[in-house]
Amino acid sequence: MDNEIGDLEATAVGKTYVEGGREHVVLDSVDARFCAGESVALLGRSGSGKSTLLNLLSGIDSPTRGTVLVSGKNLTAASDEARTLIRRRQMGFVFQFFNLLPALSVVENIMLPRTLIGDSRSAARVHARSLLKAVGLKGREDSYADRLSGGEQQRVALARAIAHEPEIVFADEPTGNLDAATSSDVLALLEELVKKRGVTLVMATHSEEAAGICSRRVRVENGALVETPSNALRTESA
């Protein structure tokens, strides 16, 4: 099958760490394909390796063995510089603790991905302001992260993740630092944003509610991936 823009494929991917002179296998020969435009929840207990897999799929970390393809490009074989460019142009990220830059205003945080790929500051600002309106934060352009609630910060993080129109968005426990009501609002917004743009979403989570916005669920279990039917889903402890 030919790769399409937004496809993500892992072949025999493994990750092993050496701790105290002993090898610790986190992932072992993982094979997976995430098709363009689909949303997939990576489920698993804390320490199961779901965040590790997310980091390998996004090129933040390198596998001990195996290959990751992003839209047909071999991410594993790419240089550090090439991987950075792929992430910068083709990927967006949403983290549990928001990871907004405190020295930048809200609008500057959202502008950043577009300026990094060569947009002018004026064009990036216009786009960022439109995204702030889309996430319900019009009028907060000049605020700083420490003046926002957790839910507002994650809305800014969502806007930043899609600002440069990426093919794939990776989300690592995006509601793990939010209360139940705020989590529901953020998940609804994430679902709307990625579906409207046809973005591939890969989300690591232990939350049944978060997994519920995804079209497919897989469990990270004993170093491998196991497809999980919707009716078999259960909440995992963090």
Domain 37-62+80-232, CATH homologous superfamily name and number: P-loop containing nucleotide triphosphate hydrolases (3.40.50.300)
Question: Which stretch of DSSP H or E encloses residue 83?
Answer: helix 80-90
Rounded to 5°, angle at Cα 193 from 183 and 237? 30
At 45 the pLDDT is 85
User: What are the structural domain ranges in the chain?
Assistant: 37-62+80-232
pTM of the full structure = 0.91
Q: What is the pLDDT of residues 105-141, one digit of tens each?
A: 999 999 999 999 999 999 999 999 999 999 999 999 9
d(C-alpha 39, C-alpha 28), whole Å: 23
* Below-70 pLDDT ranges, the chain: 1-3, 229-238
pLDDT for 232 equals 44
Q: Which segments within 20-77 are labelled E, that is strand? A: 22-34, 39-43, 65-70, 73-74
Q: Which residues contact 52 (CB under 8 A, 6 or more apart)?
A: 15, 26, 27, 61
